[in-house]
């Protein structure tokens, strides 16, 4: 795991103590444009992580073990190296109460606004399978919101019942390769939902890590279990409807295109912008990750050639 170097623009860390948690260092300071770019990158890395795990599953099903292992390694790099380093850069997810508040807000939006609207659109587009799935997921997200609210109350009220729910870990649902099952706006909504679920999975695992580091083991379990449903059930079922996974040949081509874009366009532009505003450590990080993504593109290209 890389360590992000701080620049002179970073304020001296201050120690805080909140709701019985161990003292934590204050979040590092970066310019707003750098923070926005880091968050954009984190969304991309979270989606790549989830997508590559799906591609690995298909390669394994087809007996292409080496390619499956390549996708799995790349997925771990995206989440546990790139996403994690970018989160460290901006101090993302370092306060349990703030994390719960963010989770509640996100889950309630999905449960009562986003997914019901997607379900209505799916009915209009004639895709009953998507309408049913969106409705089912909205119920799950409402349940997550209730659990997160109970956890926040327990943490913020000394002497309150600490036996708040820890959720249930779900068994992953296989993703079936194939063409999209819907069209029109519903297909676009499936894509948006896939990105949202992938990011929720990544940030909840980040929140779980912080909870355990601050002595909140039950909260860590709650976030981990919610994360398991976001990727293992919601993302997986949406991926099947969206036609996310195709043949290993097509999956490799998609991965090469994505990695080349990040290596040659996205991360270099983020690095230049960070350098211009004086965030030298961010510029260094973005440049380093660009090099990693170029390496992924090369490895995927070799794998594609070997499929022949």
Q: Tell me, what's the pLDDT at 207? A: 98
pLDDT the model gives residue 172: 95
Give residue 48's pLDDT: 98
CA distance 148 to 104: 6
Domain at 94-244: CATH code: 1.20.1260.10
* Average of per-residue pLDDT values in the chain: 91
Residues 6+ away with beta carbon under 8 Å from 284: 5, 271
**What integer pLDDT is reported at residue 43 of this predicted model?**
98
Rounded distance between C-alpha atoms, residue 261 and residue 48, angstroms: 13
**Rg of the chain in Å (alpha carbons):** 20
For position 165, what pLDDT does the model report?
A: 87
pLDDT band of residue 26 (cuts 50, 70, 90) is: low
Numbered ranges of CATH 1.20.1260.10 in the chain: 1-92+247-308, 94-244
pLDDT, one tens digit per residue, over 193-207 is 999 999 999 999 999
Res 28: pLDDT: 74
100 confidence band (pLDDT: 50, 70, 90): very high
Alpha helices in the chain (DSSP H): 32-61, 65-77, 84-90, 96-109, 115-124, 128-156, 184-213, 217-229, 236-242, 248-261, 267-276, 280-307
Residue 114, burial from CB neighbour count under 10 angstroms (0-12, 13-18, 19+): buried
Interval 178-190: pLDDT, tens: 999 999 999 999 9
Q: Is residue 7 pLDDT above 60, yes or no?
A: no
Identify the CATH number of the domain defined by range 1-92+247-308: 1.20.1260.10
User: pTM score > 0.75 for this model?
Assistant: yes
Instruction: Give CA separation, 189 vs 120, 217, 241, in Å.
Output: 11, 35, 11
Over residues 253-282, mean pLDDT: 98
Which of the pair, 163 or 27, is modelled with greater confidence? Answer: 163
Least confident of 9-13, 252-256, 263-267: 9-13
- pLDDT at residue 162, rounded to an integer: 63
Residue 15, pLDDT score: 26
Smallest CA-to-CA distance from 96 within 227, 222, 229, 197 is with 222
Instruction: Calculate the CA 102 to chain-centre distance.
Output: 14
- What DSSP string runs through 191-247? HHHHHHHHHHHHHHHHHHHHHHHTT-HHHHHHHHHHHHHIIIIIIHHHHHHHT----
Q: What's the rounded mean pLDDT across residues 18-24?
A: 37
Conformation bin of residue 178: beta by default, left when phi > 0, alpha when psi is -120 to 50: left
Greatest Cα pair distance, the chain, in angstroms, is 64
- pLDDT of 259 reads 98
- Residue 256's CB: how many other CB atoms inside 10 A? 18
**161: pLDDT confidence band, cut at 50, 70 and 90?**
low
Contact between 107 and 141 (Cβ < 8 Å): yes
The pLDDT of residue 1: 38
Is 221:167 a contact under the CB 8 Å cutoff? yes
- What's the rounded Cα separation, in Å, for the pair 164 and 81? 31
pLDDT band at 105 (very low <50, low <70, confident <90, very high): very high
């Amino acid at each position: 795991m890389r360590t992000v170097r701080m620049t002179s623009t970073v304020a001296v860390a201050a120690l805080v103590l909140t709701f019985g948690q161990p003292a934590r260092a204050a979040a590092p300071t970066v310019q707003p444009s750098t923070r926005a770019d880091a968050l954009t990158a984190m969304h991309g890395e979270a989606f790549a992580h989830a997508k590559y795990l799906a591609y690995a599953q298909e390669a394994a099903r087809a007996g292409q073990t080496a390619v499956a292992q390549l996708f799995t390694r790349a997925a771990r790099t995206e989440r546990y190296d790139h996403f994690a380093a970018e989160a460290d850069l901006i101090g993302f997810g370092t306060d349990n109460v703030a994390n719960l508040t963010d989770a509640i807000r996100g889950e309630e939006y999905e449960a009562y606004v986003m997914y019901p609207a997607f379900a209505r659109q799916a009915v209009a587009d004639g895709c009953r399978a998507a309408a049913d799935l969106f409705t089912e997921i909205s119920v799950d997200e409402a349940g997550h919101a209730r659990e997160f609210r109970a956890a926040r109350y327990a943490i913020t009220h000394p002497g309150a019942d600490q036996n708040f729910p820890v959720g249930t870990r779900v068994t992953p649902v296989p993703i079936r390769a194939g063409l999209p099952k819907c069209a029109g706006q519903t297909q676009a909504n499936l894509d948006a939902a896939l990105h949202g679920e992938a990011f929720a999975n990544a940030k909840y695992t980040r929140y779980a890590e912080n909870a355990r580091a601050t002595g909140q083991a039950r909260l860590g379990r709650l976030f981990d279990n919610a994360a398991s449903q976001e990727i293992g059930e919601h993302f997986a079922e949406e991926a099947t409807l969206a036609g996310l996974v195709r043949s290993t040949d097509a999956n490799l081509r998609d991965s090469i295109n994505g990695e080349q874009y990040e290596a040659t366009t996205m991360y270099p532009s983020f690095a230049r912008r960070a350098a211009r505003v004086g965030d030298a450590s961010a510029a260094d990080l973005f440049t380093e990750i660009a090099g990693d993504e170029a390496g992924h593109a090369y490895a995927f290209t070799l794998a594609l050639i070997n499929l022949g």
